[in-house]
Structure 1
Amino acid sequence: MIRWRKGRVERVRREWAGALELEVAVQGEDGTARALAYPALVGRPEPGDTVLLNTTALAMGLGTGGYAMVVAVPDRLPPDPSGPGHLVKARYTPLQATLLGADEQDSPHHEVLREADSLDGMPVVVADLHSALPPILAGLLAERPGTRVVYVMPDGGALPAWFSMSISQLKDAGALAATVTVGQAFGGDLEAVTVHTGLLAARLVLDAEVVILAQGPGNLGTGTRWGFSGVSAGEAVNAAAVLSGRPVASLRVSEGDRRERHVGVSHHSLTAYGRVALARADVVVPGLPGGFGARVAEQAAALAHRHDLVHVPVDGLREALGEAERAWGVRLSTMGRRLDEDPAYFLTAAAAGRHTASLL
């Protein structure tokens, strides 16, 4: 379940909005390890502090989440929280947090959201993985600079939005306007109870022109047809449609994944959009070259009975992705693969952004 350890903070390695990456000496173990602390939850650890750690992910060697997590700084507890807020997230876990929800009665936005029922045709770009967020933005903003984009983060991956360096970097660069965390996820600029109120808050409170909705980092998959957290992509299509939004489905495509079920169009996309999504969406099919591009188009055709397939050229998108990576300081990476190692993945997401720009 949980591996509990005590540690000593040696130094702060780096920090970004909402998170501190630390170097800690773990009691009873040789050397040091990376640890992650969320100051809003546990206070700010300093060098020399004793920290209580959950080292489960570190012991498992997880890629995305391979940190020891700081659970508490027991000798220097943070002050009690103050202010309104009745939403409890990460409920009934030792680190449950009370937050102010945009849709709760004490919120200044409650009246706006109380009877809200429409996104007024706003495009909602849905993707499986968190790593799709930067390339979708790159494709969108290359075609329509200055578009106000809000990210809605459900709880299929990381619960704290602070875990994502990409969110922090994209906001600092001005590419992303804000984040709304929904369900059990927390730490966004706004909190909401459901995907539905999160979408409405993005539109009516944060003035979004476009929403991108994808899991946070660290999705879960079991290699089974239905056992993956990305089924939420299909549910997001339904939520956007029922609220009179314009769902745009970004396919998960890979030429570099070693797992056959993810080569070409991933079975995650085929299941989420082909079985879970009951409402129609624009499914963006990238114009990738050669036999691999033909394979992707053929696989995507299986979705034509339920969705509108939109074929989008990818010319110029490779350059747009490289420029975005340099300008925003965001590292384009998916499952450990960079742009040069799996260009099809990033071009597909960027094509979804390009198509979305054409809807505005």
Structure 2
Amino acid sequence: MKRMYREIEVTVQAISFEDDHIQKLRTDKGAKQAILYKRFCSEAAVGDIVIVNVTATDLQLGTGGWDIVVSHRHKALHWKAENEGHIMKARYTPCQHSVQTIESQESDFHALFQKSFSLAGLPVFLAELHSMIPLAFSLLKVKYPKKRLCVIIDDQASLPLFISDQLREIKKTHTLITITVGQAFGGDYEAITVASALQFAYNVLEVDCLLISVGPGVVGSGSYYGFAGMIQAHWSHIVSALQGRPIWIPRISFIDKRSRHFGLSHHTLTTLCEFTFKPASIPFPFMDQEKLKIIKAQLVEREPYASDHHIYFSSVRVDEWVEEALKASPLPIQSMGKTFAEDPHFFCAVAEALRFGLES
């Protein structure tokens, strides 16, 4: 089995962005741009030599074309947070670090997790792709401005949430709450499991809207089961077990040239129809009869389903709502490099799921 890992030394030529969590560096070699996570590496200055991991950029895969800073050539790092925790994230890697999770013994919320709870029918939206998060946020702000959104970030894609430009910009509004679970880290709160995160969001944060998703950089392999979106079945089962309403945001495209993603993506079809054993809801946006026929045929091909899912085809148009939300977004929103004008059904699917969950 072939494996690859490569580091190189680079010189910092400029710092293009910096906040409390990251630096974006311009460098003289490799991809000539690198992300430095301050949680793991001392800050760099122009002229400093840093070691970067160039594996993904060498392979032209992932990370958005950025090398990742591994260490500073001449500076060691030590930091200590006010609220010390003992739960390790990025375990058994050079980046392992301790956090205080909401469930841990030293947490002020520890007692909450000594008993079970119920979501009492609350809709919980399941979003396979990270790009669905900023879109959902903007859609809510336009049509349901009083709704408070909490996003639970699982660890099937990027582990550090700091890498998301979209969420970094949204966080400036102080109206989005994030919980990173499993090995993912960097949210407003840290949790060990999705179930605990749901319990905390429902009982402590008392938010109006819950969405489960991942960070940037999902994995796919062009195979039947080898993709990160398989985790959606797990999310759906957790929500069902907690007496919530799992509402899937279908991944739809009528311009994707890959047959497995044309119409209703197999990332939705396979996971929902074959691996989800408790009923879930999947609302589809308004579309013309030709496209509707394609979607229905794809669903029929997967019958019988693993469970009796609730499938809805909307007659309500959400195009104008999406357009208004995109105008209100602090950053342009695309998915797989496509805009709303190019791939409208992907965007409308997010809007229809929210409308269905919040109004039905």
Per the normalisation by structure 1, the TM-score is 0.91
Q: Which residue of 2 aligns with 1:238?
A: 237
Aligned twin of 1:207: 206
Residue of structure 1 in register with 2:352 after alignment? 351
Offset, 1:19: 2.7
**Which stretch of the first structure deviates more once superposed, 80-89 or 46-55?**
80-89
Matched, 1:124 2:124: yes
Equivalent in 8, 11, 14 of residue 8 of structure 1: 11
Q: Which has the higher contact order (CA 8 A, sep 6+)?
A: 1
SS in 1 for 2:282: strand
- What residue in structure 1 maps to residue 94 of structure 2? 94
Q: For residues 327 and 40 of structure 2, what CA distance do their matches in structure 1 show?
A: 32
2:25 — aligned with what? 22
**What corresponds to 1:151 in structure 2?**
151
User: Could you say which residue in structure 2 is the equivalent of 1:311?
Assistant: 313
Cα separation, 2, equivalents of 1:72 and 1:130: 28
Native 8 Å contact 1:152 1:213 kept in 2: yes
Match of 2:278 in 1: 279
1:246-298 deviations in Å (ceiling 9; x for gaps): 11111111112121100000011011111221111111111112412332244
Match of 1:262 in 2: 261
Q: Is the 8 A contact 2:90 2:184 kept in 1?
A: yes
Residue of structure 2 in register with 1:164 after alignment: 164
Mapped to 2, the partners of 1:170 and 1:307 lie a distance apart of 33
Length, aligned pairs only: 353
1:184 aligns with 2:183: yes
What's the offset of the Cα at 1:331? 2.1
After TM superposition, the structure 1 = structure 2 runs for residues 72-91 of structure 1, keeping only pairs within 5 Å, are 72-82=71-81, 83-91=83-91
1:323 positional shift:
2.5
Distance across 1 between alignment mates of 2:217 and 2:164: 10
Q: Distance in 2 between matches of 1:297 and 1:140?
A: 28
| Counterparts in 2 of 1:338 and 1:141: CA distance versus 1, 3 Å | same
**What is the one-letter code of the residue matched to 1:268?**
H
Task: Tell me the equivalent position of 1:217.
Answer: 216
SS across alignment from 1:92: coil
Checking the alignment, whether the CA contact within 8 Å between 2:138 and 2:329 is kept in structure 1 is no
Give the partner amino acid of 1:13. S
Alpha-carbon separation, structure 2, partners of 1:16 and 1:335: 26
Query: Structure 2 length normalisation: TM-score?
Result: 0.91
Determine if contact 2:54/2:67 at 8 Å carries over to the other structure: yes
Q: Is the 8 A contact 2:57 2:63 kept in 1?
A: no
1:205 counterpart SS class: helix
Q: CA deviation at 1:314?
A: 4.9
Matches of 1:157 and 1:245, distance apart in 2: 25
Distance 1:333 1:257 in 2: 14
Tell me whether 223-232 or 297-306 shows the greater mean CA deviation.
297-306
1:104 maps to amino acid? S
Residues 159, 183 of structure 2: 8 Å contact kept: yes
Match of 2:133 in 1: 133
Matched residues in 2 for 1:286 and 1:92: separation? 44
CA RMSD of aligned residues (A): 2.0
Letter in 2 for 1:121: G
Task: Name the CA distance, whole Å, in 2 between partners of 1:47 and 1:25.
Answer: 11
CA shift, 1:165, in A, is 1.4
For the residue of structure 2 that corresponds to 1:134, the secondary structure is helix
Q: Using the alignment, how far apart are the partners of 1:245 and 1:183 within structure 2?
A: 21
Question: Pairwise mapping of residues 308-347 of structure 1 onto structure 2 (< 5 A)?
Answer: 308-315=310-317, 317-347=318-348
Q: Does 1:112 align with 2:115?
A: no
Distance 1:4 1:314 in 2: 52
Give 1:40 deviation, angstroms: 2.1
Identical amino acids, percent of aligned pairs: 31
Determine the C-alpha separation between the residues in 2 that align with 1:249 and 1:214. Answer: 11
2:95 maps to a residue whose letter is L
Gaps of 5+ in 2: none
Once the two structures are TM-superposed, the CA of residue 93 in structure 1 deviates from its matched residue by: 0.9
**Structure 2 CA distance, aligned partners of 1:350 and 1:248?**
12
Give me the whole-angstrom Cα distance separating, in 2, the residues matched to 1:16 and 1:206.
26
CA distance 1:64–1:323, change in 2 (3 Å)? farther
Residue 147 of structure 1: CA displacement?
0.5
Contact 1:285 1:300 in 2 (8 A): no
